[in-house]
Amino acid sequence: MSSSDQTRVQNINLTPDKVMHKLVSLAKRRGFIFPSSEIYGGLSSCFDYGPLGSEMKKNIKDLWWNSMTRRHTNIVGIDASIMMNPMVWEASGHVASFNDPMIDDRTTKRRYRADHLIENHIEKLRRDGKTEQAEKVQSVYEALATAPDMNRALYDLIVSQNIKAPDTGSGDWTEVRQFNLMFQCAMGAVADTSNIVYLRPETAQGIFVNFHNVRESSRMKVPFGIAQIGKAFRNEIVKGNFIFRMVEFEQMEMQYFVKPGTQIEAFESWRAERFNWYIEELGISPEKLHWYKHDKLAHYADLAYDIKFAFPFGIEEIEGIHSRTDFDLSQHQQYSGKNMEYIDQTTGERYIPYVVETSSGSDRLFLALLSDAYNEDVVDGEPRVMLKLSPKVAPVKAAVLPLIKKGEMGEKAEKLRDELSMSFLVQYDDAASIGKRYRRQDEIGTPFCFTVDHQSLEDNTITVRYRDSAYQERIDMSKAVEFLAVKLV
């Protein structure tokens, strides 16, 4: 094969609803994501990552981890336990108020988030050009935060606005009830209220309670950050949309401790850095990323933005960036009786640091990357499915394909595979036609295929085929490792 007989690629445009359907099916067929405990009928909102999925997820987490800890000399990582002393959750406010307001439809027996119904209604009014009405409803909604009976107020607003269920159009509403999202379990032999422990609903608290341990052991000075990747659990009321909202998911969080008064500057700097990370490091299409500023702030926050992504089913949050004030450390000081102050060794000042947090979900990001990458086109008249993943994210970095599986060609190809495998995840494939083998790799997002052919036996060169353009060129076989290393920087 020479670079002169190049292939031609034609794009196909897909509607968003089709993309989701095709993604779910590809994810299962090619070993990215399986329904959890599928042979027993599965478990709602629980999924397993397969061989390729777990590799890709690891790549995402490694990229995040390195961007936080390796590239910032003042950020270190921890891995805190999922179960903690239940007082942690009393102090953080989760026991009292990590609730979602839910409402049921009597006719369809479906359950909804009351606040989401209202927020979607306001958005729809805006989309329909009913700006004045949208603003009116928005201001009533914001005022509900101080309503003496929040549930009643939410219900009244839903009924007075004649809000219907978005999926069924029905609106036979029950009262609104608060539903705590934390999973409880009993630790030890006897199940009573004295030994209730919770599965953590966020990873952040493991960082706050370790503030002094990390600061002292790593000799950190404010401003500094603590990063963590770990599982979190939420008994979500509204499920669905594949891995977008799960009950067991993984967060990648970083809490950045700053001097009070400097939090907005730190916030803005992290806001810019995090947005760019998705584009520059992960290769996400910039036009699919959006900012959402929270007008209605949580009681502990003084500024909050979400980074949203245009999923096939709508524009939804993938990361929250929050300025959390000194709320968490102050609460832990009060509940634990331990001093959470920081003493500036140079000036002698004492204060409880303020916190800027960046909180991203690796599963949602996985779905964002898959849906951004999903592509169908026609190459040389043959349709193909391709995941246009950035080489850094792609689970398999290269495929080694001998044109003929037996003899010298096969041996050479195996040698190349062994060499590459020392540094990269590569696949070896010698079954079916070369065209079919390229398609198999395109479908899982492998950015490069190395083909060992007749010419390889003569001059030790191989063909490199580029996934996106189907362009081909020859390189010396001894340069293959270096070639990949350069492409993955």
- Binding residues (CB under 6 A) for ligand ATP: these are 202, 234, 236, 245-246, 249, 251, 317-320, 359-361, 363-364
Reported as type and span, the H/E element at residue 410 is helix 407-421
Which amino acid does the sequence have at 180? N
> In angstroms, what is the minimal distance from the CB of 307 to ligand ATP?
8
What's the closest the beta carbon of residue 49 comes to ligand ATP, in angstroms?
A: 13
| Rounded least distance, CB 130 to ligand ATP, Å | 25
Tell me whether residue 140 or residue 238 sits nearer to ligand ATP (CB atom): 238
User: Quick check: helix, strand or coil at residue 12?
Assistant: strand
Distance between alpha carbon 11 and the CA centroid of its chain, in Å? 28
356 and 258 in contact (C-beta within 8 Å)?
yes
**Secondary structure element (H or E) that encloses residue 1, with its range:** none
Contact 391, 397 (CB under 8 A): yes
Minimum distance, C-beta of residue 135 to ligand ATP, in the bound complex (Å): 23
Q: Which is nearer to ligand ATP, 250 or 429 (CB)?
A: 250
How many Cβ atoms from other residues are within 10 Å of residue 48's Cβ? Answer: 13
Structure tokens at 8: 């031609």
Provide CB contacts within 8 A for 465, sequence distance 6+.
438, 448, 449, 451, 471, 472
CB of 176 to ligand ATP, least distance (A): 17
Smaller CB distance to ligand ATP: residue 215 or 364?
A: 364
Provide, rounded to whole angstroms, the least separation between the CB of residue 359 and ligand ATP.
4
Cβ proximity to ligand ATP: between 59 and 360 the closer is 360
Which single residue brings its beta carbon nearest to ligand ATP? 361
Between CA 138 and CA 112 the distance in angstroms is 19
In angstroms, the CA 89 to CA 96 distance is 9
To ligand ATP, the closest distance from the beta carbon of 202 in angstroms equals 6
Question: Considering the complex, what minimum distance in angstroms separates the CB of residue 301 from ligand ATP?
Answer: 11
Of 205 and 251, nearer to ligand ATP (C-beta) is 251
Of 405, 387, 381, 402, the C-alpha closest to 441 is 387
Pick between residue 363 and residue 453 the one whose CB is nearest to ligand ATP: 363
Q: With respect to ligand ATP, which residue has the nearer C-beta, 359 or 427?
A: 359
Instruction: Please tell me what DSSP assigns to residue 461.
Output: E
CA dihedral (328, 329, 333, 336) positive or negative: positive
Structure tokens at 120: 């979607």
Q: Are 395 and 370 in contact (CB under 8 A)?
A: no
Cβ neighbours of residue 158 closer than 8 Å, sequence gap 6 or more: 103, 114, 117, 118, 171, 173, 176
324/332 with CB nearer ligand ATP = 324
